[in-house]
Amino acid sequence: MKTHKMFLIIASVILILISLLLALSFRFYNCSVEALETRPAFKSGDEIKRAFLSFDDGPTVYTEDILDLLQAHNAPAIFFLWGERITNDMTQNELLLKRMLNEGHYIGLHSMNHDYRQLYLEDNSPQEFITQMIDAQKIVYELTGYLTHLCRAPYGRMSGFTQAHYNEVANSKFRCVDWNIDPEDWKNDADEIFSQLVMQIQKLGFPPELMIVMHDVGEETIIALPKIIEFLRQYEYFITPYSPDHEFIFQNYTF
């Protein structure tokens, strides 16, 4: 009788365990289906259209407003920072740079002094270009602990790079990136910024990757930004956070 009772108890425990396992696996199955369904409606693999928002020449008095807007729209960006503008106010800019990284943005380098002659025209300018990127890199590292190798040549590589510049960069760990969309936000009003952007994207036939260059230098960019983000998402561009392993496929600006 005792053995019979023991057998019944063991059998019940096994049955309870099996039911629990079944219930759990059903629950997980449901979760995964649900997770798939609630993913954003972007297409898989190569069909994803990506847009990178980039802001050059900061930090300035406009940078905080840009960060607020990006946060409100949940949109990541790349900030190509001008070294001497960071050192203008290290205390304030430490907070700003840390905020950028905390909120999912990426920090790139944009030289120390943005000086066309020093960076492109003088005899030692290819070495000067690298030296200025290293100096800016060190400042960003000291303030944030983050070592970035992404850089954007002031005025773009197409405006001043010689073969020696290309060689210097190739022999360094830096990686330069230009753009394929330039709404010239530093000189246009918000309506013109938006219409230039739309016109250029249309002209390129809504390509799979956009690198949009803007600047932390005026109110008009800030006014245009929500409309730009809305337009990109309307046309199913995924506003993409930059990651160093990303291989850019866009062709440089040729307008």
Q: Which range of residues in 15-23, 55-63, 162-170, 235-243 is near Zn ion by CB under 5 A?
A: 55-63
Are the beta carbons of 179 and 54 closer than 8 angstroms?
yes
> Least Å distance between CB 242 and Zn ion?
18
Neighbours of 65 (CB within 10 A): 15
> Least Å distance between CB 57 and Zn ion?
4
Neighbours of 126 (CB within 10 A): 20
Is residue 56 near Zn ion by the rule CB under 5 A?
Answer: yes
Token couple for 89: 């106010």
Alpha-carbon distances, residue 104 vs 77, 100, 145, 252 (angstroms): 8, 7, 15, 25
Task: Find the binder of Zn ion among 50, 51, 54, 57 (CB under 5 A).
Answer: 57
> Least Å distance between CB 130 and Zn ion?
17
Q: What is the number of the residue whose Cβ is closest to Zn ion? A: 56
Q: Which range of residues in 26-34, 49-57, 139-147, 235-243 is near Zn ion by CB under 5 A?
A: 49-57
**Site residues (CB under 5 A) for Zn ion, limited to 130-189:** 154
Using the minimum distance from each CB to Zn ion, give the nearer residue, 56 or 178.
56
Using the minimum distance from each CB to Zn ion, give the nearer residue, 237 or 242.
242
Q: What is the DSSP letter of 248?
A: -
- Residue 116's DSSP bridge partners are none
Using the minimum distance from each CB to Zn ion, give the nearer residue, 56 or 220.
56
Q: What is the DSSP letter of 73?
A: T
Neighbours of 215 (CB within 10 A): 19
> Least Å distance between CB 152 and Zn ion?
7
Neighbours of 208 (CB within 10 A): 12
Using the minimum distance from each CB to Zn ion, give the nearer residue, 49 or 218.
218
> Least Å distance between CB 235 and Zn ion?
27
Are the beta carbons of 243 and 87 closer than 8 angstroms?
no
Q: How many residues bind Zn ion (CB under 5 A)?
A: 3
Task: Give the distance, in angstroms, between the CA of residue 64 and the centroid of all CA atoms in the same chain.
Answer: 17
Say which residues have a Cβ less than 8 Å from residue 121's Cβ, sequence separation at least 6.
Answer: 160
Using the minimum distance from each CB to Zn ion, give the nearer residue, 49 or 130.
130
Q: End-to-end distance of the chain based on CA atoms, in angstroms?
A: 92
Using the minimum distance from each CB to Zn ion, give the nearer residue, 49 or 213.
213
Using the minimum distance from each CB to Zn ion, give the nearer residue, 96 or 109.
109
> Least Å distance between CB 215 and Zn ion?
7
Residues that bind Zn ion (CB under 5 A): 56-57, 154
